Amino acid sequence: MEQKTIVWIGAGRVATHLAPALAGAGLKTLQVYSRTEASAAALAGMLQASFTTDLSSVVSDADYYFFSVKDAVLPELVAALAPRCGAGAFLHTAGSIPLSVFEGLGLSRYGVFYPLQTFSHGRPLDMRAVPLFLEASSPAFAAELTALASSVSARVYSLTSSARRKLHLSAVFACNFVNHCYTLAGNLLAEEGIPFEALLPLIDETAAKVHRLSPAEAQTGPAVRYDRNVLDAQLAQLQDRPLCHDIYELMSRSIHEEAQKQNSEKQSI
């Protein structure tokens, strides 16, 4: 079987993690395009591919075009390359962009290849553990995409655009908002001269717990029973941080609401 070829449109954190994984699975990267020369050169170097910052120089004979760019510029890049490169399959890696971004451009094979993970530069990850969520323009292309994704990850799911949008939103809670809770906790500690690292065992254990228990079962703290005395005493400590105060109030109400839901579910069994 002939070796399949890839062009990467975008050389950011997602591309920098996915591209080597696909190379490791035997696909050959022909070229990397990025508006930023340093990024294009870095990823191309990693993949022993050529690079360009000129959209009109993107080669037209690749099997797959992976678009891994900011949501806002994805539609225009897809539209710009479709006429010349559209014999290849077009794929994007974005959580919130529907499959329909590829429609109406004369493309015959296109899809979504969305990895649910937070990627950092310079931090390698076990890609086989990263869930990949796929969507494809046809059942035949879905089968091809599933085979491709399975060569990279052990967790491959297929998902509609609207479900993927919900998944992306859930990742905002599980990653972005969680990380911000770490920030707010660290700010409180800093006031007392306590280093952030004192929280790391607690942070690690909180994450480890939900491998065994559902997060609703794992929930602890004064908000579960909505202990007004404890809550008010803690809120009083946040009086000079209005946003943080309101987050505490809302999160506590939401935790309590969820605990009551859990309780009534238990009682109805």
Query: Tell me, what DSSP letter sits at residue 9?
Result: E
Which residue number, 99 or 251, has a Cβ lying nearer to a copy of itself? 251
Instruction: Using the rule CB under 8 A, give the single segment among 19-27, 32-40, 74-82, 179-187 that binds a copy of itself.
Output: 179-187
172 belongs to the binding site for a copy of itself (CB under 8 A): yes
The neighbour count for residue 71, using CB atoms within 10 Å, is 12
Cβ-based nearer residue to a copy of itself, 58 or 130: 130
Question: Smallest distance, Å, CB 61 to a copy of itself?
Answer: 34
Q: How far is the CB of 29 from a copy of itself (least distance, A)?
A: 24
191 scored as a contact of a copy of itself (CB under 8 A):
yes
Residue 228, classed as helix, strand or coil, is helix
Report how far residue 140's alpha carbon sits from residue 119's, in angstroms, rounded to the nearest whole number.
30
Nearer to a copy of itself, 4 or 98 (CB): 98
CA distance 102 to 123: 31
Binding mask 34-63 toward a copy of itself (x if CB under 8 A, else -) reads: ------------------------------
Which residues does residue 111 pair with via DSSP β-bridges, in sequence order? 91, 136
Give CA torsion, residues 43, 12, 156, 88, to 10 deg: -70
Is 254 one of the binding residues for a copy of itself (CB under 8 A)? yes
* Among 131, 151, 158, 226, interactor with a copy of itself by CB under 8 A: 131
Which listed residue (4, 82, 189, 226) binds a copy of itself by CB under 8 A? 189
Interior CA angle at 126 toward 123 and 129, to 5°? 135
User: Cβ 161 to a copy of itself, closest distance in Å?
Assistant: 11
Pair 112, 164: CB distance under 8 Å: yes
Question: What's the one-letter identity of residue 27?
Answer: L
> Hey, CA dihedral for 118, 158, 8, 26, is it positive or negative?
positive
The only residue of 202, 260, 263, 265 in contact with a copy of itself, by rule CB under 8 A: 202
Query: Which parts of 93-112 interact with a copy of itself (CB under 8 A)?
Result: 96
Question: Cα–Cα distance between 5 and 2 in angstroms, integer?
Answer: 9
- Chain positions 218 to 247 lying near a copy of itself, rule: CB under 8 A, are 218-223, 229-230, 233-234, 237-238, 243-244, 246-247
- The least CB distance from residue 251 to a copy of itself, in Å, is 5
What's the closest the beta carbon of residue 116 comes to a copy of itself, in angstroms?
A: 6
Strand partners, 135: 112
Size of the site for a copy of itself (CB under 8 A): 87
Q: Does 154 bind a copy of itself (CB under 8 A)?
A: no
CB of 214 to a copy of itself, least distance (A): 7
| Token output for 35 | 């508006």
Where does the chain have alpha helices with state H? 13-24, 37-47, 74-85, 139-150, 161-171, 178-191, 200-209, 215-218, 228-236, 242-267
